[in-house]
Structure 1
Amino acid sequence: MPKHKNRTLGTRTLAPETLMMGYGYDPALSEGAIKTPIFQASTFVFKSAEDGKRFFEVAYGLREKDPDEALGLIYSRINNPNLEILEDRLSVWDAADRTLVFSSGMAAITTAVLAVSRPGDIVLYTAPAYGGTEYLFDRILPRYGVEARAVPAGEGSAVLNEAIQTAAEDAAVRGGRLAAVFVESPANPTNELVDIAQTARDLAALNQAERPVLAVDNTFLGPLWQRPLALGADLALYSLTKYVGGHSDLIAGACMGRADIMAQVAEMRTIGGSMADPHTAWLLTRSLETLHLRMERSQVNAITLAERLTGHSKVVEVLTAGGALASAEQQRIFAEQCAGPGSTLSIRLNGGEAEAFRFLDSLTLFKLAVSLGGSESLASHPSSMTHSDYTSEAKARCGIGDNLVRLSVGIENVEDLWVDLAQALDRI
């Protein structure tokens, strides 16, 4: 094992936050620079024609890579030093066989779904989900002969398993497969949880020649507070724009998981050209060094604010993953698969859209903007913003009312944030 990819020190297995400082990077290859330089290059020089031949054989799947063979640098659409270092470090957190980084979270999701599905297949997904994800499933995939079916996230494993069985049977009748089950847990923006381990067991027991891929959007809690791959998922997906990037200054995504499935995703990324650029990869590598500090501080702040918001006269309900008001099943799932609730929560206010808008317009420290997981605190109105393309029926089914406000809690002083929320609530 090369020294820069050593995960142990003597008999001790090093923690991910320690490995974020240097894992996958050899300073000797970059003039001794302690931090990774930006490799702003489109193409790379081969030492010999034989090297070029060998590199392309592996890159295009003409032969299997030898166990100790590195994928040679060819062209930045295929690989780039900044991408490789970042992907190595991201793999550490989730113990993934392989990680691929993309130009956006939606690029990661789209590439992965297209890689594992074909015309005639069915894809199941849990709702509510990020608006772009639902748009892809409901409006784009059907154009390519792939049917998408939504299953309410909060209705439990039995309902999801019934949908899995039905979808597999329906797909078989028309010569297709249940290609994948896509889970967003916690759900956006209601924080409802899906039992990932139980879903994995249900798929393993399915009477289908090819086991469907279980993919989990882990943006809300990962990689600190939830590890889908350890729970039986095949793929974990991220909007790296959020917590991993953490500074609201880049757009990127990631897909990681089992080697055989990731090979399919890698093929689709290479041909589709949806990888992140070297500078974005460099920024993300920088951000990984403080990821645990930022996520820990944000979560402590969010827990404090959720406790104070609960029972406030202007707040009907506080929605957190596995929260005190969640059902017994939701609390069980949280206890079994989550290490913390994260720092994105939603509140239902007394009133409707007018009261929600008055609250949002009165905030000072919480910025009125979509996205989440940055160092700063944000507030948004899902019904009219991120989930505005939902029908009124879909909003009602998913619990996205006009009185729902989503809060992404940052790393500011928590007492200052509370004063901001309190004064805005007073103006409703």
Structure 2
Amino acid sequence: MLPFELLVGLRYTHAKRRNHFISFISIVSMAGIALGVMALIVVLSVMNGFQEELRARILGVAAHLEISGPADRLADWRGVLAQAQRNKEVLSGAPYVNAQGMLANGDMVRGAIIRGVLPELESRVADFAQHMKAGKLADLRPGDFGIVLGAELARALNVYPGDKLVLLTPQGNITPAGVMPRVKQFTVTGIFEAGMFEYDSGLALIHLQDAQKLLRLGNDVSGVRLKLDELFRAPLVTRELSQSLSGHYYLTDWTQSHANFFRAVAIEKRMMFLILLLIVAVAAFNIVSTLVMAVTDKQSDIAILRTLGAKPASIMAIFIVQGAFIGVFGTLLGVVSGVLLALNVETVVPFIERLAGMDLFPADVYYISQLPSKLVWDDVGIIGGVSLLISLVATLYPSWRASRINPAEALRYE
């Protein structure tokens, strides 16, 4: 049999009241809590999805870990790679040459990062094969001076596969007329689209041997890119390799080279949680108002219960049950609606864009042109638990005031 405090408290939540304004405040409280919980779940899910999508796209073009030599030159890259692969966390590696240059097609000129790669090894550390829109990475052959461009970079230069363009590098040739930049004609063999404007508009790939010839590196490279078994162990692997590699090298993992992106997302996620939690807190203040008015309205009922032997703790429990019902119902409503919206946000946003006739996330402004979502059930549990806790705390003071009512004073004018 249920305790009478629970029965009376639940009866107060649905019984017909003389003061309908109390019912209105209760509904507003439930709606406020539901809205706050729903907003928290959706926003955190979108931020989780954004963080995962950003990481996937960055590491689809970048590497988990990079090893470079002094002055950005590495002589024996095969020996360094062999040493690195002794670590069980290292799955594969590939050499690279990094340089800056200017790409020109007639009057159109764009600056870009020029990366020299070995196509057969590069596919083991990056996902360019999945992002190719035209041509293949394997089309880069030594001596052919082919080049693969990001989609936005190709669009800016107005070039297509098979077209010619000119690459100018800052490393100059000394001539009687002075220092002249090195100029070489390349043929566009492919176009990739990684989905990140930073790479699509500023990265070009050429064959490693062509880059070595152009920059006069001989057999040297800029460094070695590594792919790890578990990307989140990159800082630990960096420390292990720094101790095991024989020689002087610079080691940089993805958490260092792209720390600003992920720190910004993590900080923003925490701040949005606190800000949106205020919606739930404001709704919880409505619970206080509801219970204060309910206590005033039920003074005679409280007095009668006290004269029948109810203890102050029982009176307090009755109004805690009434307030907790508002919090539980509002939280459940918010959790259900928030989960449904978070799971379908990739469908809802395009619908809103079509309805509004505008692009909410243009690729030239945002790193990601589509709104991703990843529902983390731990976040849902934390949000629901915090909402219930705030709702429960909001019931304590009005319930305590109800337990302090003097029966004789309450019944004096009845």
More helix by share: 2
Q: Which of structures 1 and 2 has the larger relative contact order (alpha carbons within 8 angstroms, sep 6+)?
A: 2
TM-score (norm 2): 0.23
